[in-house]
Amino acid sequence: MQLTVWTYEGPPHIGAMRVATAMRGLHYVLHAPQGDTYADLLFTMIERRDARPPVTYTTFQAQDLGRDTAEIFKNAVREAYARFRPEAMIVGASCTAELIQDDPGGLARALDLPIPVVPLELPAYQKKENWGASETFYRLVRALARPPAGRAPGARPDRAPGARPTCNILGPTALGFRHRDDLREVQDLVGRLGIGVNVVAPLGASPSDLGRLGEADFNVVLYPEVARSAAQWLERTFGQPLVDVVPIGVKATVAFVEAVAAAAGVDPGPVLAGAPSRLPWYTRSVDSTYLTGKRVFVFGDATHALAAARVARSELGFTVVGLGTYGREFAREVRAEAQSHGIEALITDDYLDVEAAIAACQPELVLGTQMERHVAKRLGIPCAVISAPMHVQDFPARHSPQMGFEGANVLFDAFVHPLMMGLEEHLLAMFRDDPEFHDGVAPSHLGGQPRPEPAAAPAPAPAAITVAWAADAEKELRKIPFFVRGKARHNTERFARERSLPLITLETLYDAKAHFSR
């Protein structure tokens, strides 16, 4: 474990919270001191949930360490069951409580509650949040999933002739990047193929729903970080094939539709014939030539970083100059993808390493997390957020998926708009001295009269100090767009007065600009 100002992932019990909070009828009892009780902040403020997360803490204090903390935990489990009456419970310890080794699983079993109680062993000093979510979901599936009556263990599902094929959709959780919106798009695609959805889990599922997982013909894994382990167990145990093509981007969505259709034995043609994304049209348009070859740095969780790199190169014509992830469990896949771009992958959970790599690459666009957004802002590089961890801004109220054909439209906007803003600035600079279009010319409907110079705000200054503008400095000032020229004049004159400079030269103007841009 490394102490740092920013972190890409929390400890593994945060991953367990994401699974528990996503589900219905499941309660999480966490052995934790007062300082670890921040689930409400995560899920009600950051994700804007309208209900408190189903988590009970023991909240032991320092003086309790010399007493019986095991009894405190058992009382918390009893009270949580009596109050919430869940269908099932998961129990575990936070990173701090792990040190006192109270064995939450054994203590909960001793209570002999009339519901399933699944113990979690989440080593906080070796593993992190995504692994914790994956392990929690895997343990729940193993404990609760049951094969349909009459099917031999490991046998493939045998669908009756004419019966509608069904699948489980696995992976979306609470506090997940666009999971709610992605799920809506994927359910629509699956439904248009004529395939029924048996269970969606963890998001919206109950423990009894997990018991029905074995009834589906196959499983769809949307987020391998969360659901791949559980889906592989279901494949080994119930003979259910898994589809783990992540449908982010037009090409990946087409591949996803084809893979799902093959698993269900249906025709993908009608769905693919009506693919509604505008991204392919844009890449064939004249406007796209402005962006061809733009150098892009990509970093995030493995699912979104891999998908963003592929979309950037194969669908928008960008050049990927950096690719990395903080998810060490998926380092092999990310390294292989980076190699296909002719670069070396960056596998790190230290944001300072990522900042150094971005500064070294000097890309024209950064696709990353909120941390990379802050880094890019400092370096003056356009950025789009494409991955967790996220800030409250990245849980939009609107429908904003990453997956499916509509998700490709969202990606198109997210990737292109920051670059187009840069293009606008370039055009503004290019035409600022044009005799017809420069900002000193009034609109034609005003008769061509010169645009009035904005009045500079009065600046307090000693009466004895007056400043004048050299001709070359005045000419350079007029190159600044009119809507910020007054502020530039005011700041430069203040800079000169503070240094007792009676004449503002071109050098003074540049020095003032450097001073106020720090």
Binding residues: 36, 422-423
Q: Map tokens 């093509």 to a residue.
A: 245
Q: Rounded to whole angstroms, how far apart are CA atoms 392 and 144?
A: 34
Q: Rounded to whole angstroms, how far apart are CA atoms 244 and 234?
A: 13
Cis peptide before 389 (omega within 30 of 0): yes
The catalytically annotated residue of 158, 267, 287, 434 is 287
H or E segment at 358?
Answer: helix 351-361
Cis peptide before 202 (omega within 30 of 0): yes
β-bridge pairing 88-93 and 166-170 = unpaired
Question: Edge to edge, what strands does the sheet with 196-201 contain?
Answer: 196-201, 166-170, 218-221, 242-243
Q: Rounded to whole angstroms, how far apart are CA atoms 246 and 402?
A: 10
The 10 Å Cβ neighbour count of residue 29 is 28
Determine whether 433 is an active site residue.
Answer: no
Query: Taking Cα atoms as reference points, which of 85, 82, 104 lies closest to residue 93?
Result: 104
Q: Is 154 exposed, middle or buried (0-12, 13-18, 19+ CB in 10 A)?
A: exposed
Residues annotated in the binding site for [4Fe-4S] cluster, as ranges?
A: 36
Please report, for residues 31, 73, 125, 247, the alpha-carbon distance to residue 93 in angstroms, rounded to integers and kept in the order given. 4, 10, 12, 35
List alpha helices for 114-206, DSSP H.
129-144, 179-192
Residue type, 489: R
Task: Find out whether 34 and 59 touch, Cβ atoms under 8 Å.
Answer: yes
Residues annotated in the binding site for substrate, as ranges?
A: 422-423
Q: Rounded to whole angstroms, how far apart are CA atoms 490 and 516?
A: 12
Please report, for residues 16, 153, 155, 236, 264, the alpha-carbon distance to residue 150 in angstroms, rounded to integers and kept in the order given. 33, 9, 10, 17, 21
Q: Which long-range contacts (CB under 8 A, 24 or more apart) does 312-315 make?
A: 312/367, 312/415, 313/341, 314/249, 314/251, 315/249, 315/250, 315/251, 315/279, 315/280, 315/283, 315/408
Token pair, residue 254, equals: 């087409």
The catalytic residues are 287
